Chains A and B, each alone.
Chain A
Amino acid sequence: MFMQNTISFFVISVSVLFCQPLCAAESVVKGAEKQVRELIQQTCVDCHNQDTSEGGLNITAIDWNLKDAFSRQHWVQIHDRIQAGEMPPDAKELPAQERIKILNVLSDSIYNADLKDVLSEGRGPMRRLTRLEYENNLRDILSLPDLDISDMLPEDREKFHCNKVAEILDVSRIQMDAYLNAADAALRQAIAAGVKPRKSNSRRFPATSMFESVDTYGGREAMFYAKDSKIVPLTRSDLMKIRKKNQHDPEMEMALFRSPSWPYYGYPEAFRAVEPGEYRVRFSARAVRQVGDFGLREAWSSVPMNFRARKRSGPDVSGDVRVTGDTFDIQPTKSIFETTVRLKKDETIEYCLLGLPVPRPINPPNAPLYYDFPPMPKGGHPGVAFQWLEIIGPLDSVEWPPVSHQRLFGSLPIKASERGELAIALVSDQPQQDAVRLLRRFIHSAQRKPATENELRIYERLVLEEIERGAPLAEALITGYTAFLCSSQFIYLTEPQADSKNRHYEIAARLSHFLCNSRPDPVLISFAEKEQLLGASILQKQTNRLIESKSFNSFVSDFTDYWLSLKDIRRDEPDARLYPEYRFDDYLINSMEAETRAFFACLFHDNLPVTTIIDANFAFVNDRLAQHYDLPPVNGSKLQRTLLPPTSPYGGLLTQAAIMKITANGSTTSPVLRGSWITDRILGAAPPPPPPAIPAIEPDVRGATTIREQLAQHTKDPVCAACHARFDPVGFALENYDIMGAWRDRYRSLGKGEKVTGFDRAGHTYAYFVAGTIDASGRLLDGSEFEDIKHLKQILASDPRILARNLLQQLTIYATGTPVRFSDRPVIESILDQCQPQAYRIRDLLHGLIQSKIFLGSSSKL
């Protein structure tokens, strides 16, 4: 295995550390600098000196000041290069014994200095909440599960494929201003919007009121009204007459055959949410096929659909467009469906059929533009026929004032407000006393560790001054609450430390932000109050409870957004010239994204061995993905855990469509990019950045040369070859997966090869060429050779410790905001040792980390 030497060296240095008591290590360190400098003088200085500072390193200029984080980091790098066997380039220049010697001296010295720093200053700085965490905290405190304020805050920066790195989560004036606005907006949303719940309206739309017009972009084929499964060719004026006279025929259906994409406005006539809030949507529909002459037949399989919230802005979209409510599989037999959607003021709902054609504009010369619908496939166009739709809302809480209001103001009576921005005012005989009581109650519910009496006084004074200045009680309280929600106590998570009186609270907060991206729930808080969280079995039970909770989804999506860059899955549009089959296939991309998240969650839920990342005999697929992966058909849009046939090239994270799409660019794949991506994210060996002034290799879409030929040319230079040999081979094995992860045996091109023609999903002719055959074989750095991806997977899975270490390191950054430090390394190795007998199961790794001093804080003073 190509990284084996790393491991063996690691084990040596780690075992040395464990054998030596700390005090002994200190005495060794005394003459350390001298020893290191001597060995370096012999081996390294020839290349890394003042004149020829190879790789930008002049080793003689580096201070031996290990107390200083910056120079310590330099020595860590030197240590790691020597340990990995990368330096010196000719291994013979540093005989094994000397190598062990220098590594031991270096690692002992660095370890001691690093540990000392951890014990005196903490393992890492306190960390600001991410905007997602801030939003979730407020959602929980205010009991507003759909609160949407994260975008009011500036986007968080990213480092180490993580959004929770303490050193770069800064606070600026703009950030602070945004906190004030976001907290204020959230608090106001929590307050009752009136003295009584809003009146809910119910509207029923017969089929002939379910669409604005008589057809849509794409012509009649895209949408028509029907009765007895035959088209009723209504004109605009027919429709107006029906609506005006209210002569709707209950036997009519509205039949739709396209997916939404600009231009399209598939919403009911005359409905918009006058009030923002939740609306209940009920409708009756069946899946159909459109056959010749606009007839309807029963569909062969279900058609997935959901609703999008958007403004009634016609074909052009303005502002937000988002899926709201459930996704349904409309069945061939007529049935009634029901869901709850959330709408902002003036929004409506749009029918969003998934995976159907999107008509494309045709611009004929000297004639107006029009939109074309594809020719009819065998069996007809799949679609949905709707009978009626009902919208009821806004649905306010039955309990009034709503729970969110009670979180702020308890049970104080309310009345209509006469001044200020709020719709209600609080009724109180003793506003000062009530203010103090409610403020203390609120802070108690929002704090993550006990506020001191001094702090409480500061907020009390603020609220009382506001009342004195004549602010209504509710407004004065909002002022105080806003202040607390913008305080440093609230926006920073602090590092648990052994001597801290709040250590248990800090652990509770770290655990909940790690696994749920939010504040500790009452159960965790109560364990913190009782100081019981350090008990191994309680901590394990609580961890398991959070993993089983619904909030764990937030960890899954946030972690994969960064570790695997899933948030970037829509970055590149598939090139419609080369891949016409993927044009506007949002349904496929959404399914791909959902698959990877479901798979990642399953790793923890089922505590699967870490090698499952590389290979698995199952996959989560729905109807579209089964088709994409060339598996036996699956029914419905819901992902189902499916056993893969042994011949399938899928299984494991490595070859999932989402990963293949993220590592491609929409037109072509590059073994360099895919290979280095996998080596970095999955194996934890980030390749060095490409040297400056060397142009990137761009795959040739004309099909004249294959990427392998181009790379062979590029790597003729041994300097290039040395680096490329680390990651290209992995990329070669993935060449059988196209830009969206579908299997291919040959490349496509726009120039050379056999011509392939046909009609795309919008009915447009396409032509591309099928060119060179793919060679997916390769040879890893350590010499092991493989034929194809199946073979490579076996090789990668044969060293699970590498995979486990990488995942553990990534989890450490995410959980603590600080990457694995030098003094953490033995801890990481010991967690790996514990998990080794069970084949490094993933939940075990997580437990190992949470129970370690990396997570819980150091428990002894130096």
Chain B
Amino acid sequence: MSKFKFPSSTRVFSRRRFLRGAGVTLALPLLECMSQKSNAGTTGASPQRMLIISNNLGVLPKLFFPKTSGADYQLSPYLLKLREFANKMTVFSGLSHPACEGGHSTENCFLTGAKHPTSSGFRNTISLDQYAADHLGRQTRFGTLNLGVNIDKANRSLSWTRDGILLPAEDSPADIFKKMFLQESDPQIKQRLEQLKRRGSILDAVLDSSKQLRHDLGRNDKTRLDQYFSSIRDLEKRLVTAGEWEQSPKPKTEMELPNDILDRTLLFEKFEQMLTMATLALQSDSTRIITLMVDAFATPVFLLKDNEKSTTGYHSLSHHGMRADHLSQLEKADRRQMELLGQTLQALASAKGEQGQLLDSTMVLYGSNLGDANTHDNSNLPILLAGGGFQHGQHITFNHENNKPLCNLYVNMLQKLGVDTDHFGSSSGTLTEFKSR
């Protein structure tokens, strides 16, 4: 069993223990292990990060959503678990993806907002993390990390390319650890450098041959062609940065290589281990964009707490039909997740960022594609955003019948990350109610 597994004696929220796990990593000279290159692309402003977590069966809405709204809202039973961070987080209700229906099939659209995922001719669209990475370029060793817990890797992912291709999640903490901290062999690096070099040569040739054309052109055409030239130069700069990343040594950590937990019943232990990897990745500035899908749907009978197993798989449990025994198990599962989320926020708050806490430059989004798994309802999604330097401490509510596009919040997040856009997916604008600090 992994060293990350909780001693089975205690199940209460133990921040100390979590910190002990993460504490090893905290011994790192925080963010100092970051390569200098990481700031090369930014313009002085402190870099922003995001960690997006989705559980594809959601939570019990009644216990999640606060009953009152505004700045002095009353924390809901679940949010009480995050009480310490009440001023560092915002809860949203009345958000969903318009025309993104089809029960569980929407899980792949949580970060894309693509419409009608089950109809003929459907193809997914680019996900928030990939869109951000495309626009921000290679500021860190990894553009993004896409993680999964108990995930059906072939069919589910939060992360999708522009042409709707699934980017498989990584579900081995050990592999992620190696990727971040273990030096690779020279041939692998050499091969990737070769690829980059080849790209560079292509761009050189293309630039040369287009220059031949320029002097024959009229004013209008020259303007167009200059745009083309600058896009090439822009891309060349990115290639150089990517090459430098390949050659720069990886950060070091005192933490030992984790052992992967393979037992799918240990859902929360696996989730915790993955959250530790995410925290570590942000701390070492290995990446600034992380997605993490908890594939509850693919989770069989699982351990709710010591010696208590769920009576059925997570999915059947979610169709509770108001049966009391199902509801109480779901509540336990939801509360465990809230605790783990609290631990993660704590770890990010304890870590030092460029300015103040790492949490202040990290948006942590927790949510789901299902508003109510019992009825396969894809509206009124549970959405919580902590950290990242927003004016927090609110419950922002939108119309229950006529939801606001969740992508509007994604635009806020993209802008925070420094992506110059006013549109993403099915957005109709931004959430103006949600302001930067």
A interface with B by C-beta (< 8 Å): 120-122, 124-126, 128, 149, 151-154, 166, 170-178, 180, 260-263, 308, 311, 313, 315-323, 346, 352, 361, 363-369, 452, 454-455, 458-459, 461-462, 465-466, 471, 479-480, 482-483, 486-489, 491-492, 494-495, 570-573, 586, 590
Contact = CB atoms under 8 A, between A and B. Distances in A.
A458 B119 contact: no
A180 to B, nearest CB: 6
Nearest to A263: B103
B122 A320 contact: yes
A458 B155 CA distance: 44
A176 B236 CA distance: 10
A346 B152 CA distance: 14
21 contacts: A121-B219, A128-B224, A153-B162, A172-B231, A180-B202, A263-B104, A308-B120, A318-B166, A321-B119, A321-B122, A323-B121, A363-B321, A365-B321, A369-B374, A455-B209, A455-B212, A487-B209, A487-B210, A489-B213, A570-B115, A586-B120
A159 to B, nearest CB: 15
A125 B123 contact: no
A173 B103 contact: no
A261 B103 CA distance: 11
B118 A489 contact: no
B37 interface: no
A488 B156 contact: no
A401 to B, nearest CB: 24
A322 B164 contact: no
Contacts of B108: 318-319
A590 B119 CA distance: 11
B168 to A, nearest CB: 11
A368 B163 contact: no
A492 B102 contact: no
Given A458-B212, A570-B116, A573-B101, 5 more contacts: A152-B163, A261-B119, A459-B205, A459-B209, A466-B201
A369 B210 contact: no
Contact of B321 (A173, A368, A452, A455): A368
A363 B122 CA distance: 27
A571 B152 CA distance: 30
A315 B104 contact: yes
A173 B165 CA distance: 21
Contact of B102 (A262, A364, A461): A262
Given A262-B102, A459-B205, A483-B202, A313 B155 contact: yes
B375 interface: yes
Contacts of B234: 172-173, 176
Contact of B121 (A128, A260, A322, A367): A322
B192 interface: no
A366 B323 contact: yes
A479 B231 contact: no
The 3 closest A-B pairs by CB, nearest first: A151-B163, A318-B155, A125-B220
B119 A586 contact: yes
B165 to A, nearest CB: 8
A320 B123 contact: yes
B322 interface: yes
B87 interface: no
B240 interface: no
Contacts of A170: 227
B154 A311 contact: yes
A483 B105 contact: no
B162 A178 contact: yes
B206 interface: yes
A458 to B, nearest CB: 5
B303 interface: no
Nearest to A314: B155
Contact of B209 (A126, A321, A368, A458): A458
B199 interface: yes
Given A176-B232, A365-B321, A466-B201, A488 B124 contact: no
Interface size class for chain B?
Answer: 35 or more
Contacts of A153: 162
A786 to B, nearest CB: 36
Contacts of B103: 262-263, 316
A263 B376 CA distance: 11
Interface string B303-344: 000000000000000010111000000000000000000000
A479 B198 contact: yes
Contacts of A126: 217, 220-221, 224-225
A319 B202 contact: no
A363 B374 contact: yes
A573 B99 contact: yes
Contacts of A319: 108, 123-124, 155, 164-166
B134 A174 contact: yes
B235 interface: yes
A316 B107 contact: yes
Given A121-B218, A174-B134, A570-B119, A151 B164 contact: yes
A331 to B, nearest CB: 23
Contacts of A152: 161-163
A369 B202 contact: no
Contacts of B107: 316
Contacts of B321: 363-369
Given A459-B205, A487-B209, A149 B119 contact: no
A311 B322 contact: no
A462 B205 contact: yes
A489 B205 CA distance: 12
B264 interface: no
Nearest to B316: A368
A18 to B, nearest CB: 27
A151 B198 CA distance: 24
Residue among B124, B163, B323, B375 having the largest count of chain A Cβ atoms under 10 Å: B163
A318 B151 CA distance: 13
B433 to A, nearest CB: 20
B20 interface: no
A315 B165 CA distance: 20
B223 interface: yes
B238 interface: yes
Contacts of A590: 120
B208 A494 contact: no
Given A125-B220, A318-B156, A483 B206 contact: yes
Given A151-B164, A321-B120, A488 B227 contact: no
Given A154-B162, A571-B99, A458 B208 contact: yes
B231 A122 contact: no
Contacts of B319: 368-369
B40 to A, nearest CB: 16
Given A317-B117, A322-B121, A125 B227 contact: no
A153 B104 CA distance: 28
Contacts of B105: 262, 316-318
B220 A121 contact: yes
Contacts of A461: 205
A462 B213 contact: no
A116 to B, nearest CB: 13
B228 interface: yes
Contacts of A261: 102, 118-119
Contacts of B218: 120-122
B135 interface: yes
Given A126-B224, A316-B104, A317-B102, A180 B121 contact: no
A306 to B, nearest CB: 9
A483 B116 contact: no
Looking at B154, B206, B225, B376, which has the most chain A CB atoms within 10 Å of its CB?
A: B206
Contacts of B219: 121
A489 B209 contact: yes
A471 B119 CA distance: 44
Contact of B375 (A174, A346, A361): A361
Candidate in B134, B155, B209, B322 with the most chain A CB atoms within 10 angstroms: B209
Nearest to A323: B120
A336 to B, nearest CB: 24
Nearest to A121: B218
B115 to A, nearest CB: 8
